[in-house]
Amino acid sequence: MKQVMEGSHAASEAVRLAKVQVISAYPITPQTHIVEALAEYCENGTMDARFLCVESEHSALAAVISASTMGVRTFTATSSHGLALMHELLHWASGARLPIVMAEVNRALGPGWNIWADQTDSLAQRDTGWIQFYCEDGQEVFDTTLHAFRLAEWVNLPVMVIQDAFFLSHTLEPVDIPDQKQVDQFLPPFSSGVKLDTEKPCNMGQLTPPSIYMEMRQHIQMAMEQVSSCYSEVEKEFSALFDRQYGPVEPVACEDAEVILVVSGTIAGTCRSVISDLRSKGEKPGMLKIKMFRPFPADFVRRAVRAAKKVAVIDRNISFGAGGIFCQEVKSALYNMDPHPPVFGYIAGLGGRDVTPDSLEAIYWKTKKGDLLKGESTWVETQEVELKN
């Protein structure tokens, strides 16, 4: 049934229907609406789950790690500084091969304090062994959260389902919420293959010498390499029941496109209308929305941009000293493809600044008319700042 709700509540509705058993979280704007709804569900019996109100994000992830190890379905949610504080545990969760699902609301990191949309928080965690999905709207948040449990429990890796602060987390949209019976068909009760048990005592997470540590890391990489095909299966089953499918990337009008704009998150929604406006004026733009960032869907990206003359990657994030993070990944994916289109990097919308249709159209024209940039990236719509010694 279609309901009007925030992106935050699209996440919490999916967690309710996934019958998560242990939730632990620490409040941080703009993640709070997600966990407030879940606390309410635990209190009023809508969910049969334990909600642990811990004293930090570090403890929140530690608690779901151990709950998951003991064999129940788990969930946490955070944002920005909270995610940064979890960093140590992010590695622990993937290293322990735990199918934890996390809702992550993209928010800028301080200083100065900034609660608005910026992807640098989650992208800075790209090497922690978590699968990462970036969502465009409330429906995608809901669907992807359900996908996430299936996928995580299949490949034994944790999944982050990511949405932009406010533009998505606090924006009301219609979201189709299925009933419990339908969701149960897609997502069976959690059954843990390996769990800590007093009947079969073992030592988990212990001291691991060089003779075996490396193989354990190789297994994580092997699992990551299976994610793409597993996700395709998960989506196929989901689509059979709910008639919605996303793919790790979504190419829009890329077949004959001269300039392809590569985007993620809510910017994709704005970009769709820009593409159609420019097409109506006889231009040939395309859009490639990247949903799955880890594992990076390099094959899909190569296929989508192969025939384009130019590629412009729009990053609402920055790796200082390198450039936009999606841009780095796209360049790396194209490097061994001969020939490949030149890649233009644009930094836009940091700390919640609007990326408007005009911003994207300007990027299109600049890319179409311009030569390859001298620097790694162009900063979009920044003001001249006088530097003083």
Q: How far apart are CA 60 and CA 94, in angstroms?
A: 15
2-5 and 173-176 beta bridge pairing: antiparallel
For 165, left (φ over 0), alpha (ψ -120 to 50), or beta? beta
Q: Which of 17, 67, 314, 350 binds another protein (CB under 8 A)?
A: 67
Six-digit token string for 7: 């992106």
Our finding on whether 287 is near another protein (CB under 8 A) is no
Phi, psi of 257 (to 5 degrees): -70, 140
Our finding on whether 52 is near another protein (CB under 8 A) is yes
Residues 166, 51, 20, 75, CA torsion sign: positive
Residue with tokens 């339908």: 182
Residue 283: helix, strand or coil by DSSP?
A: coil
Our finding on whether 202 is near another protein (CB under 8 A) is yes
Total number of residues binding another protein (CB under 8 A)?
Answer: 42
Our finding on whether 50 is near another protein (CB under 8 A) is yes
**Comparison of 21 and 169: residue with beta carbon closer to another protein:** 21
**Comparison of 28 and 275: residue with beta carbon closer to another protein:** 28
- Residue 216 burial (CB < 10 Å; 0-12/13-18/19+)? exposed
Q: Which of 206, 280, 336, 389 binds another protein (CB under 8 A)?
A: 206
- The number of residues making up the chain comes to 389
Our finding on whether 194 is near another protein (CB under 8 A) is no
Min. distance of Cβ 330 from another protein in angstroms?
A: 34
Q: DSSP state, 127?
A: G
Our finding on whether 203 is near another protein (CB under 8 A) is yes
Q: Which of 60, 224, 257, 355 binds another protein (CB under 8 A)?
A: 60
Our finding on whether 69 is near another protein (CB under 8 A) is yes
Q: How far apart, in Å, are the Cα atoms of 220 and each of 93, 156, 208, 214, 279?
A: 11, 9, 15, 10, 43
Q: Which of 39, 72, 298, 373 binds another protein (CB under 8 A)?
A: 72
Our finding on whether 193 is near another protein (CB under 8 A) is no
Our finding on whether 220 is near another protein (CB under 8 A) is no
Cis peptide before 30 (omega within 30 of 0): yes
CB neighbours of residue 265 within 10 Å: 27
**Comparison of 92 and 116: residue with beta carbon closer to another protein:** 92
Our finding on whether 128 is near another protein (CB under 8 A) is no
**Comparison of 44 and 198: residue with beta carbon closer to another protein:** 198
Interface with another protein by CB under 8 A: which range of 169-177, 208-216, 253-261, 297-305? Answer: 208-216
| Binding map of another protein across residues 15-44, x = CB under 8 A, - = no contact | ------xx-x--------------------
| Binding map of another protein across residues 86-115, x = CB under 8 A, - = no contact | --xx--x-----------------------
Q: Which of 1, 44, 45, 55 binds another protein (CB under 8 A)?
A: 55
Six-digit token string for 177: 């919420």
CB neighbours of residue 299 within 10 Å: 12
Find out whether 100 and 64 touch, Cβ atoms under 8 Å.
Answer: yes
Min. distance of Cβ 53 from another protein in angstroms?
A: 7
Interface with another protein by CB under 8 A: which range of 53-61, 261-269, 309-317, 326-334? Answer: 53-61
Which residue ranges make up the site for another protein (CB under 8 A)?
21-22, 24, 48-50, 52-56, 58-60, 62-72, 88-89, 92, 196-198, 200-209, 212
